[in-house]
Amino acid sequence: MKMSNMLISTLREVPAEAEIDSHKLMLRAGMIRKMASGIYNYMPLGLKVLKNVEDIIREEMNNAGAQEFLASAIIPAELWQESGRWGAYGAEMFRLKDRNDRDFCLGPTHEEVFTDIARNEIKSYKQLPLNLYQIQTKYRDERRPRFGVMRSREFVMKDAYSFDKDQDGLDISYNKMRDAYIKIFERCGIVAKPVDADTGAIGGSGSAEFMVKSEVGEDDVVFCTNCDYAANIEKAPSTPEKAEKEAYKEINKIETPNVRTIEDLIKFFNTTEKKFAKTLIYNADGKIVAVMVRGDREVNEVKLSNALGGVVDLSMASAEEVMKATSAQVGFAGPINLKVDTLLVDKEVANMYNFIVGANETGYHFENVNYGRDFEGIVGDYRNITEGENCPVCGGKITISKGTEVGHIFKLGTKYSEAMNAKFIDENGKEVPFVMGCYGIGVTRTMASIIEQNHDENGIIWPLSVAPYHVNVIAVNIKDEMQMKVANEIYEELKALGVDVIFDDRNERAGVKFKDSDLMGIPMRITVGKKVTEGQVEFKLRTSEVENIKIEEVVARVKEEFEKNKISIR
Amino acid sequence: MKMSNMLISTLREVPAEAEIDSHKLMLRAGMIRKMASGIYNYMPLGLKVLKNVEDIIREEMNNAGAQEFLASAIIPAELWQESGRWGAYGAEMFRLKDRNDRDFCLGPTHEEVFTDIARNEIKSYKQLPLNLYQIQTKYRDERRPRFGVMRSREFVMKDAYSFDKDQDGLDISYNKMRDAYIKIFERCGIVAKPVDADTGAIGGSGSAEFMVKSEVGEDDVVFCTNCDYAANIEKAPSTPEKAEKEAYKEINKIETPNVRTIEDLIKFFNTTEKKFAKTLIYNADGKIVAVMVRGDREVNEVKLSNALGGVVDLSMASAEEVMKATSAQVGFAGPINLKVDTLLVDKEVANMYNFIVGANETGYHFENVNYGRDFEGIVGDYRNITEGENCPVCGGKITISKGTEVGHIFKLGTKYSEAMNAKFIDENGKEVPFVMGCYGIGVTRTMASIIEQNHDENGIIWPLSVAPYHVNVIAVNIKDEMQMKVANEIYEELKALGVDVIFDDRNERAGVKFKDSDLMGIPMRITVGKKVTEGQVEFKLRTSEVENIKIEEVVARVKEEFEKNKISIR
């Protein structure tokens, strides 16, 4: 396309609304525009990239034997009531009523819909395995939409659902998706590593998230520096640090006026965090629950929720609830004389000696407390693993990075098929529930992640595979007839070959054109300037130096890049 | 794809929910499944056709210089409040609130959004003209969803919006779209004629609907049997039939007990419908309005609404409202002593002599009533044109057919740009509003219309251009090694060429395979049966006889069909 006819919306200024590089660059390059909080419009340039990413996903999904489907975004409440998630989904679900006052939601995900499809369309094991996928707009009313399309409320997702006759079949389907995802992210030009993920208390038998390392990632990902182990911190098991054995001392109540935080306590008792156990009070679906971890540890709320059998609504207890449970102000909670529905004790705490806890009395703590002698609870792993701890697989050292989830594969098993009575006739003539898997890719988030991993101070650096345009042909001086003629010929020749090419024929200074080209991240730039009189043009890759090339060789040079990148010109 | 791996959902029975052929066939061929009233899921087969139709639209839109865009489906209420349509859209708009209680709708159309984009992104006349389009899911909470995807509540639409600096520019943009639409429908294999359409009271300067003739169409389309004139009945001007001149007679009140309908009156007065004028009472946005037409005519509510300056909510008055306006029960309304806000009189009525009207008194009519002498009102064209009337262009005879609107092009002018203060700087440095056009195609409805126009008793007859698969290779006996080998070779060869081919390798009788192939509407069928031992296979077009062809010539025969249809194999 000729740029004089295009809607070019590059911005020189960094928009105030953007916090991270990909968001800034998507706005500056004119790829997206905000419609409302977490809701974006895709401008022509952005949509082209989105479609390219979608096409890569579609191709690999088809190669893996999956079939494309398209479900409605509006879903009747009844399906969600059947699975039990209508209530469970909470405020994140956009809900609406039609003119007859019937309840619907805008699909945040489609397990229910595809389980419904399967129970209606699949009668026999002979029709299995089956994997249906869609590339579709999803809706989640996030509490805190942010980072542009990285966490938005209306976004494009690829979701797939596999149906197998047994667990072995599911394992095969799951591994096919795992392999396909690895190819997809590779082709998109990003490093996305599959890491072990939590499956939830009532979840399935296995799950992995595809994580891209990112400073602004909202997940903490645990990697072993020695072996291949990688897991979401939600899932990674912690190993209790061994406390030095001591003889039990006598318990002692100490007046600790205004000493509420761990920092205060360390000063007051002149000891280390490792001698304290903190007791945190939660409201878990209306029940009051306490969890104890060592003073320097963080509670892992996913582990906590799983231990409680799956919690929909988990939040720190209110000051009032704390007062009711501890008979004290916030800051003095402890396990002794605590009035809660459940007390969970991290296994590290259960192995500590003569430690300090709140006394459930404002202004007091107990010292020399010991698990078993002074209190009891449900012992388990309720804390986050920390940097430098031992790898749960090989014992090597753990490192933790921020990451963003771009994909998720999940062995659902029979969770939905049982809840929704979705069955088929097996080889023995028996009705059995489908064994299911589900597989998601955040398509718009993948697009943003590509930029996070591929940019410099001048703009985006698109991998050729997803670039909105492969080549930008620039005429330096549009009033120079020869420059325009040669530029136009190169443009037309590339177009005829099937290369996605733009021709910057705008009446702008060359500097502006170069800046726009770099900002938009076009992989190849052909500049037709003064040297055209010597039969030469400039060829430049986005991040390399200018090459002077004979006019008649420049198209071959473009083709060479396609070959190098193993991408066929359409 | 091999059919043994595909989700095939053909049905032998005609589903009870379907009334029209396209709906029946889309269900029977396994293209769509109902999720809720007017909300459908697209099964793999249906989605393939949908994508093919989309691709044709995309190609022609791009050829016409339009640029693809993708706006969000969720739109903030504020934009609609600016244009004044938040209130005006009524119950057809799906509305929802987010977790912060902000109002949104699911876009039924996107004029506001694109006007907003233009005012933010386009500063100067130099950036014009511009045409932005999207292929996107739209939401309309229809009062009566029906006919499958023909009138559904969640549907795919191509909507485009053009921005020009003046009316001349708009005319060019509009005509480009008109030409593109003609090509699109032609390529989709349907006859869709552009017909004059109503632009509404505050609408723009021109509009055409692309109509396909259809017995189940919800529009009446007026065609001239002599010239090219074609218009929606909403728009087509009527020509008053000349009444024979008579001398005014004395007005006379007649007792007409229980004579309420035109049929009753004809009997009672022993005359024809042409001697009566009926007076219909409406509630138009809360105002009570009467409209008079000749006894045998139908009121045209669009003309009525336009005459009143554009009515949002037009309905027949309630019995109570009629009583208030006429002081009589329903059935005795007339123009004399009528208490309404406005009285509209069709020009035909104004030219009648000594006619009969209700007396606004239960059980009474007036005879020998004459316009001007006995009552006055606003005279205009308020009725539907009827079969056999004169063409408003050439005077030829009119014929009326049912039609379905598959596309609509509309010169909006400055309606939205003025309401939303969307302006650019013109050549003279002055701020002026964009001159806009909008252009829609019902993509899913087009798909259904293709089937309406292309099917027989055995199933769908897809035009090659949109067929889900071009060729179906059938092995008659999958236990016959030679048949399977040859069928597989043909399948692989066609696939390698880029032909969209399926291989029916299912363990089913040949009859079942043939029936499914015809039902699904695959244009070409290659049957590998017993004659394979003689080096022959069968080639069959969907609606032609079987041709016996040498194995080595069958691929060339397929290519020949592509050439005949001027379609390039991808």
Rounded distance between C-alpha atoms, residue A235 and residue A237, angstroms: 6
The stretches in chain B having pLDDT less than 70 are: 201-204
DSSP class of residue B512?
A: H
**From the candidates B52, B96, B570, which should be mutated to test the interface with A, based on the most A CB atoms within 10 A?**
B96
Rg (CA), chain A: 29
Q: Which chain B residues are within 8 Å of A74, Cβ to Cβ? A: 35-36, 39, 94, 139, 153-154
Please identify which residue in the block is written with the tokens 């259809």: B214
- Which amino acid, residue A407? G
A210 in contact with B, Cβ within 8 Å = no
Averaged over A422-437, what is the pLDDT?
97
Rounded distance between C-alpha atoms, residue B273 and residue A443, angstroms: 65
A324 in contact with B, Cβ within 8 Å = no
Residue B114's closest chain A neighbor by CA?
A41
Rounded distance between C-alpha atoms, residue A459 and residue B272, angstroms: 80
Q: What phi and psi values does residue A364 have, to the nearest 5 degrees?
A: -135, 145
Rounded distance between C-alpha atoms, residue A369 and residue A276, angstroms: 10
Give a three-class secondary structure readout of A18-69.
CCCHHHHHHHHCCCEEEEECCEEEECHHHHHHHHHHHHHHHHHHHHCCCEEC
Predicted confidence at residue A310, as pLDDT, reads: 84
Q: Which chain B residues are within 8 Å of A39, Cβ to Cβ? A: 72, 74, 76
Contacts of B164 (CB under 8 A, 6+ apart): B128, B129, B170, B172, B173, B434, B435, B436, B437
Find the DSSP H helices in B361-480: 415-419, 443-453
Residue B501: CB atoms within 10 Å: 23
Angle at A540 between CA A538 and CA A545, to 5 degrees: 105
Contacts of A316 (CB under 8 A, 6+ apart): A280, A281, A282, A283
Predicted confidence at residue A311, as pLDDT, reads: 85
Q: Judging by beta carbons within 10 Å of its beta carbon (0-12, 13-18, 19+), is residue A226 exposed, middle or buried?
A: middle
Distance from CA of A47 to the nearest CA of B (A): 6
Angle at A232 between CA A231 and CA A234, to 5 degrees: 125
Closest by alpha carbon to A402, among A361, A452, A366? A452
B7 in contact with A, Cβ within 8 Å = yes
Please compute, for residue B149, the number of CA atoms within 13 A of its CA located in the half-sphere on the CB side: 31
Averaged over A296-308, what is the pLDDT?
94
Rounded distance between C-alpha atoms, residue A137 and residue A150, angstroms: 14
Determine, for residues A67 and B7 on separate chains, whether the beta-carbon distance falls below 8 Å: yes
Of A39, A96, A143, the CB nearest to B96: A96
Rounded distance between C-alpha atoms, residue B197 and residue B41, angstroms: 32
Q: Considering chain A, what is the average pLDDT of its residues?
A: 95
Distance from CA of B68 to the nearest CA of A (A): 5
Closest by alpha carbon to A300, among A389, A364, A424? A389
**What stretch of H or E contains B515?**
helix B510-520
Closest by alpha carbon to B436, among B165, B93, B60? B165
Predicted confidence at residue A109, as pLDDT, reads: 96
The number of residues in chain B equals 570
Predicted confidence at residue B201, as pLDDT, reads: 58
Q: Judging by beta carbons within 10 Å of its beta carbon (0-12, 13-18, 19+), is residue B140 exposed, middle or buried?
A: buried
* Helices B167-187, B44-63: crossing angle, 10 deg rounding: 140
**From the candidates B7, B54, B100, which should be mutated to test the interface with A, based on the most A CB atoms within 10 A?**
B7
Distance from CA of A257 to the nearest CA of B (A): 41
Distance from CA of B566 to the nearest CA of A (A): 19
Asked, as a colleague might, if the bond just before A129 is cis with ω within 30 of 0, I would say yes
Q: Which chain A residues are within 8 Å of B43, Cβ to Cβ? A: 69, 121
Distance from CA of A60 to the nearest CA of B (A): 15
Distance from CA of A343 to the nearest CA of B (A): 33
Q: Which chain A residues are within 8 Å of B40, Cβ to Cβ? A: 72
Residue B262: CB atoms within 10 Å: 15
Q: Which chain A residues are within 8 Å of B73, Cβ to Cβ? A: 73, 137, 154
Residue B46's closest chain A neighbor by CA?
A69
Give a three-class secondary structure readout of A452-515.
HHCEECCEECCCCCCCCCCEEEEECCCCCHHHHHHHHHHHHHHHHHCCCEEEECCCCCHHHHHH
Check pLDDT > 80 for residue A202.
no
Do B141 and B93 form a contact (C-beta atoms < 8 A)?
yes
Predicted confidence at residue A263, as pLDDT, reads: 87
Averaged over A421-437, what is the pLDDT?
97
Asked, as a colleague might, if the bond just before A237 is cis with ω within 30 of 0, I would say no
Predicted confidence at residue A204, as pLDDT, reads: 66
Determine, for residues A113 and B154 on separate chains, whether the beta-carbon distance falls below 8 Å: no
Q: Which chain B residues are within 8 Å of A143, Cβ to Cβ? A: 99
Averaged over A52-59, what is the pLDDT?
98
Residue B11's closest chain A neighbor by CA?
A121
Q: Which chain A residues are within 8 Å of B140, Cβ to Cβ? A: none
Write the pLDDT tens digit of every residue in A148-164: 999 999 999 999 999 99
Do B230 and B222 form a contact (C-beta atoms < 8 A)?
yes
Q: Which of residues 28-57 of B touch A (CB under 8 A)?
A: 33, 35-36, 39-44, 46-48, 50
Residue A30's closest chain B neighbor by CA?
B121
Write the pLDDT tens digit of every residue in B165-219: 999 999 999 999 999 999 999 999 999 989 988 877 556 678 999 999 888 888 9
Q: Which chain B residues are within 8 Å of A35, Cβ to Cβ? A: 71-72, 74-76, 113
Write the pLDDT tens digit of every residue in A113-133: 999 999 999 999 999 999 999
Q: Are strands A398-413 and A219-224 parallel, antiparallel or unpaired?
A: antiparallel
B6 in contact with A, Cβ within 8 Å = yes
Please identify which residue in the block is written with the tokens 């991808």: B570
Distance from CA of A309 to the nearest CA of B (A): 27
- Chain-centroid distance of CA B38 in Å reads 16
Determine, for residues A153 and B98 on separate chains, whether the beta-carbon distance falls below 8 Å: yes
Share of chain B above pLDDT 70, in %: 99
Contacts of B210 (CB under 8 A, 6+ apart): B181, B185, B192, B193, B194, B195, B405, B406, B407, B408, B409, B441
Q: Which of residues 106-125 of A touch B (CB under 8 A)?
A: 106, 113, 117, 120-122
Token pair belonging to A292: 């104890």
- Chain-centroid distance of CA A406 in Å reads 4
Residue A104's closest chain B neighbor by CA?
B36
Q: Which chain B residues are within 8 Å of A96, Cβ to Cβ? A: 94-96, 106
Give a three-class secondary structure readout of B45-78.
HHHHHHHHHHHHHHHHHHHCCCEECECCCEEEHH
CATH level 3 topology of A469-564: Rossmann fold (3.40.50)
Give residue A205's pLDDT band: very low, low, confident or very high (50, 70, 90): confident
Q: What CATH architecture does domain A252-380 belong to?
A: Alpha-Beta Complex (3.90)
Determine, for residues B137 and A137 on separate chains, whether the beta-carbon distance falls below 8 Å: yes
Of A33, A42, A69, the CB nearest to B44: A69
Distance from CA of B546 to the nearest CA of A (A): 31
Residue A31's closest chain B neighbor by CA?
B69
Predicted confidence at residue A224, as pLDDT, reads: 93
Q: What phi and psi values does residue A423 have, to the nearest 5 degrees?
A: -130, 160
Check pLDDT > 80 for residue A484.
yes
Check pLDDT > 90 for residue A63.
yes
Residue B227: CB atoms within 10 Å: 12
Q: In 3-state terms, what secondary structure has residue B289?
A: strand
DSSP class of residue A91?
A: G
Write the pLDDT tens digit of every residue in A509-532: 999 999 999 999 999 999 999 999
CATH level 3 topology of A3-236+400-451: BirA Bifunctional Protein; domain 2 (3.30.930)
Which sequence spans correspond to the domains of chain B? 3-236+400-451, 252-380, 469-564
Q: Which chain B residues are within 8 Å of A1, Cβ to Cβ? A: 67
